[in-house]
């Protein structure tokens, strides 16, 4: 057994959320909430310790951590913790919930556990099980608010995501047939020859896992599930579920080594740019603000994939973008949850003048929207800038132009609509935001501040890990 | 081709025929029985492979195919149909069965040729293209049908395709039994939990695109 990695931290990452899931089911008031909070904080602590010690190595044949999984573990557990905290307030505003608080918290912890497990597995088959398990654990959370649209969204999510993951399983079958192993370490140690089955496996993995990432045209579940889920869960969907699925693809992509064959690079570039553009244009015509943010997540995943395809400094930028976006988007969804519980609607045209009706939430929402759409000096801006620079340096001028177009369109769309809701004058058709007052948005401010910190300072440990993660794929920091 | 290989290919063709039948049917009852038959045929094929290769894993996969996808899930679906008359027939699909059937045949031919041109040399097993064709047929069903029960059937067909491919091409794929158990659990969650919630909350399965989910 190789013991170069802190086993205690890995053990804690796996046991804290799973134990919290079990304890949450105890039918005593406050136990489920406390168990979920403790579980999320313990797992965050374990993830931070892995990041600080720059842990890298294996524990037995199936578990391990490196810079890339370390960064995502930190991101997942951070959003898990803030969403758990935010859930308490949000649950109070849900009338006739379909799930009891005990079941809700248990599923929330199980959802986090499945993502953490997927990130810790070093076997592609187990990683696939982890990603598929995220569907099972999260599907029921979507129906919390008992709306027919929620049920339909849960149904579409389960079915489409599972169909995509079946294709990913086909990809793993092809890869195994050609290489005889699914261990990410063995594949990295002895990279397979670039044969047709390996290329097909990577392409099918892109389609399969891409379904869960929300890549066009397999994205159709995404706006439904993200908009219908309760806001803390929407935050986890947009902020960390999509990157976790992208991570699973990256582990398959990694077998190609560096340089990546042109055919696969072009495929990624096409999927990335088309997804970013489709997401950016579709978010313009949304009537629901939660749906608009869902399409924004789709756009950002497209941007990140574009950066990965270009490689080098752009890949480093893509990783920064993914982490900063997770914090910014979760903040945006917490604000969206406040507005929904305050006004009782998700319709953009029914919400106005939040600056006086819900001033704290309104201000946080403006900041979160700017952060989400890559306004300077947030981390998302830095990530997007590096991708553009990388694209130009690689001679992909047309890709850089389309990339900038997607950013520009999404920026105008999201900030224009949020600006109207926050600063627009209240009219007869708009709803008063008095039902639950302005509950404050401390968690949203916290996450926006982190997205800002990524952009304005070289955060210790995180920056080191981001550089190391980019280096795994031949990418580099400036 | 020896007799055993011919048998495997023959059962595979039977599985493909059930897939084409599923595409051309709009009544839900026959669709449920069709997927049960397909899973049963797959179970027979897996059982034969398990016996000929002395493989415990393949025997477990055969048992799962018969017990869960030919038995349990169709039984639950059948009860759903009996409870709710609106689940009897997929109204919109009834008007398009000819188109579905033609599309299914066309896709099967295209998938077959794609396999022959790209992967046939790597997977020379008799009937090697069949799991690939079955996967495409399952995706077609998921993409074109609106009734939730029929979509479950599309999902089960996809699962059958993956199990079929795994048994044929990579019988020693690590954790394959666990993966299939997981897919079956998801299938049971689909039919047992989400269909029940749908019944509780909406009372109808074919409401078309809900306005709020448009766009």
Residues B28-65: tens digit of each pLDDT = 888 999 999 999 999 999 999 999 989 999 999 999 99
Higher-scoring residue by pLDDT: B140, A320: A320
pTM higher than the cut 0.90 = yes
Between CA B76 and CA B32 the distance in angstroms is: 10
Assigned domain for B213 exists: no
Assigned domain for B212 exists: no
What's the mean pLDDT in A382-396?
Answer: 96
Q: Is B201–A146 a contact, with Cβ atoms under 8 angstroms apart? A: yes
Chain B: give the shortest CA distance to residue A151, in Å: 6
Assigned domain for B215 exists: no
Q: Is A151–B142 a contact, with Cβ atoms under 8 angstroms apart? A: no
Residues A100-119: tens digit of each pLDDT = 999 999 999 999 999 999 99
Q: Is B175–A169 a contact, with Cβ atoms under 8 angstroms apart? A: no
Assigned domain for B13 exists: yes
Furthest-apart CA atoms within chain A: distance in Å: 69
Q: Residue A184: its chain B contacts at CB < 8 A?
A: none
Assigned domain for B210 exists: no
Between CA B185 and CA A158 the distance in angstroms is: 12
Q: A64 has which bridge partners?
A: A58
Say which of A125, A227, A228 has its CB closest to residue B179. A125
Q: Residue B202: its chain A contacts at CB < 8 A?
A: 148, 151-152
Higher-scoring residue by pLDDT: A129, A155: A129
Cis peptide before A217 (omega within 30 of 0): yes
Dihedral sign computed on CA atoms, order A275, A280, A284, A286:
positive
Q: In this model, does residue B208 exceed pLDDT 50?
A: no
Assigned domain for A469 exists: yes
Between CA A62 and CA A41 the distance in angstroms is: 25
How many structural domains is chain B composed of? 1
Assigned domain for A123 exists: no
Q: In this model, does residue B206 exceed pLDDT 50?
A: no
pLDDT at residue A439, as a whole number: 67
What's the mean pLDDT in A210-234?
Answer: 92
Q: Give the number of A-B residue pairs with CB atoms closer than 8 Å.
A: 124
The whole domain housing B154 covers 3-205
Q: Taking Cα atoms as reference points, which of A439, A448, A458 lies closest to residue A92?
A: A439
Assigned domain for A49 exists: no
Assigned domain for A40 exists: no
Q: In this model, does residue B12 exceed pLDDT 60?
A: yes
Tokens representing A352 are 């106005």
Q: Is A197–B193 a contact, with Cβ atoms under 8 angstroms apart? A: no
Higher-scoring residue by pLDDT: B106, A428: B106
Between CA A241 and CA A122 the distance in angstroms is: 18
What's the mean pLDDT in A433-460?
Answer: 82
pLDDT at residue A1, as a whole number: 41
**Nearest chain B alpha carbon to A171:** B162
**Nearest chain A alpha carbon to B174:** A125
In percent, how much of chain B has pLDDT > 90?
Answer: 35
Q: Residue B171: its chain A contacts at CB < 8 A?
A: none
Q: Is A173–B166 a contact, with Cβ atoms under 8 angstroms apart? A: yes
What's the mean pLDDT in A268-273?
Answer: 97
Between CA B182 and CA A131 the distance in angstroms is: 11
Chain B: give the shortest CA distance to residue A149, in Å: 7
CA A133, A136, A137, A138: dihedral to nearest 10 degrees?
Answer: 110
Assigned domain for A372 exists: yes
Residues B59-104: tens digit of each pLDDT = 999 999 999 999 998 998 888 777 666 556 665 655 667 788 888 8
Assigned domain for B211 exists: no
Is residue A472 within 8 A of residue A254, CB to CB? The reply is: yes
Give buried/exposed letters for A269-280 (b at 16+ CB in 10 A, else e).
bebbbbbbbbbb
Assigned domain for A25 exists: no
Assigned domain for B65 exists: yes
User: Which of these ranges, A233-237, B135-139, B179-183, has the smallest mean pLDDT?
Assistant: B179-183
How many structural domains is chain A composed of? 1
Q: Taking Cα atoms as reference points, which of B183, B187, B166, B174 lies closest to residue B50?
A: B166
Say which of B142, B182, B213 has its CB closest to residue A152. B213
pLDDT at residue A364, as a whole number: 96
In the numeric block, the tokens 């190391």 are attached to A468
Assigned domain for A231 exists: no
Q: In this model, does residue A98 exceed pLDDT 90?
A: no
Assigned domain for A203 exists: no
In percent, how much of chain A has pLDDT > 90?
Answer: 72
User: Which of these ranges, A190-199, A354-363, A364-373, B75-84, has the smallest mean pLDDT?
Assistant: B75-84
User: Which of these ranges, A18-22, B96-100, B152-156, has the smallest mean pLDDT?
Assistant: B96-100
pLDDT at residue B202, as a whole number: 61
Residues in chain A: 478
Q: In this model, does residue B188 exceed pLDDT 80?
A: no
Q: In this model, does residue B18 exceed pLDDT 70?
A: yes
The whole domain housing A362 covers 259-478
Q: Residue B157: its chain A contacts at CB < 8 A?
A: none
For A473, phi then psi, to 5°, come to: -110, 15
Is residue B152 within 8 A of residue B73, CB to CB? The reply is: yes
Residues A38-83: tens digit of each pLDDT = 999 999 999 999 999 888 888 888 999 999 999 999 999 999 999 9
């Amino acid at each position: 057994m190789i013991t170069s990695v802190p086993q205690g931290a890995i053990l804690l990452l796996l046991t804290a959320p799973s134990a919290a899931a079990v304890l949450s089911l105890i039918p005593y008031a406050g136990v489920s909430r406390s168990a979920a909070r403790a579980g999320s904080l313990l797992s965050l602590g374990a993830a931070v310790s892995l990041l600080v010690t720059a842990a890298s190595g294996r524990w037995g044949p199936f578990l391990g951590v490196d810079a890339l999984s370390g960064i995502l573990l930190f991101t997942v557990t951070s959003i898990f913790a803030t969403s758990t905290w935010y859930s308490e307030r949000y649950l109070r505003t849900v009338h006739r919930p379909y799930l009891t608080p005990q079941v809700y918290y248990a599923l929330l912890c199980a959802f986090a556990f499945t993502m953490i497990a997927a990130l810790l597995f070093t076997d592609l088959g187990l990683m696939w099980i982890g990603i598929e398990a995220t569907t099972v654990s999260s599907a029921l959370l979507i129906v919390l608010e008992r709306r027919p649209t929620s049920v339909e969204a849960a149904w579409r999510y389960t079915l489409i995501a599972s169909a995509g993951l079946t294709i990913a399983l086909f990809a793993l079958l092809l890869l195994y047939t050609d290489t005889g192993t699914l261990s990410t370490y063995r594949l990295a140690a002895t990279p397979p020859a670039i044969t047709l089955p390996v290329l097909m496996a990577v392409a099918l993995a892109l389609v399969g896992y891409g379904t869960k990432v929300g890549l066009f045209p397999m994205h159709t579940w995404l706006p439904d599930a993200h908009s219908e889920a309760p806001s803390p869960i929407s935050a986890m969907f947009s902020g960390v579920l999509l990157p976790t699925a992208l991570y699973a693809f990256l582990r398959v992509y990694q077998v190609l080594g560096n340089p990546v064959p042109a055919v696969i690079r072009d495929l990624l570039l096409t999927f990335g740019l088309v997804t970013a553009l489709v997401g950016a244009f579709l978010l313009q015509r949304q009537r629901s603000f939660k749906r608009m943010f869902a399409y924004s997540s789709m756009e950002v995943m497209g941007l990140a994939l574009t950066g990965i395809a270009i490689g080098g400094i752009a890949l480093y930028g893509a990783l920064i973008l993914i982490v900063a976006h997770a914090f910014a988007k979760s903040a945006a969804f917490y604000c969206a949850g406040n507005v929904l519980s305050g006004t009782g609607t998700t319709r953009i045209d029914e919400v106005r003048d939040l600056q006086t009706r819900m001033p704290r939430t309104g201000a946080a929402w403006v900041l979160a929207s700017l952060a989400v759409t890559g306004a300077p000096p947030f981390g998302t801006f830095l990530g997007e800038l590096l991708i553009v620079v990388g694209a130009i340096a690689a001679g992909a001028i047309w890709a850089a132009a389309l990339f900038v177009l997607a950013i520009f369109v999404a920026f105008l769309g999201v900030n224009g609509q949020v600006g109207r809701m926050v600063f627009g004058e209240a009219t007869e058709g708009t709803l008063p935001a008095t039902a639950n007052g302005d509950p404050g948005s401390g968690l949203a401010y916290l996450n926006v501040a982190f997205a800002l910190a990524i952009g304005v300072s070289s955060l210790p440990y995180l920056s080191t890990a981001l550089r190391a993660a980019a280096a795994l794929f031949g990418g580099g920091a400036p | 081709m020896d007799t055993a290989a011919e048998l495997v290919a023959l059962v595979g063709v039977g599985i493909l025929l059930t897939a084409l039948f599923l595409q051309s049917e709009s009544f839900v009852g026959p669709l449920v029985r069709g997927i049960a038959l397909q899973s049963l045929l797959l179970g027979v094929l897996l059982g034969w492979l398990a016996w000929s290769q002395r493989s415990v894993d393949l025997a477990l996969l055969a048992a799962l195919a018969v017990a869960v996808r030919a038995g349990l899930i169709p039984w639950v679906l059948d009860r759903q149909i009996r409870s709710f008359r609106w689940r009897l027939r997929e109204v919109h699909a009834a008007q398009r069965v000819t188109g579905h059937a033609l599309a299914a045949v066309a896709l099967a031919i295209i998938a077959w040729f794609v396999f022959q041109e790209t992967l046939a040399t790597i997977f020379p097993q008799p009937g090697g293209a069949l799991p690939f064709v079955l996967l495409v047929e399952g995706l077609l069903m998921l993409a074109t049908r609106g009734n939730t029960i029929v979509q479950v059937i599309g999902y089960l067909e996809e699962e059958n395709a993956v199990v079929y491919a795994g048994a044929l091409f990579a019988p020693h794929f690590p954790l394959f039994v666990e993966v299939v158990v997981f897919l079956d659990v998801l299938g049971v969650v689909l039919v047992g939990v989400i269909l029940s919630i749908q019944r509780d909350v909406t009372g109808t399965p074919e409401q078309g695109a809900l306005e709020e989910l448009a766009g």
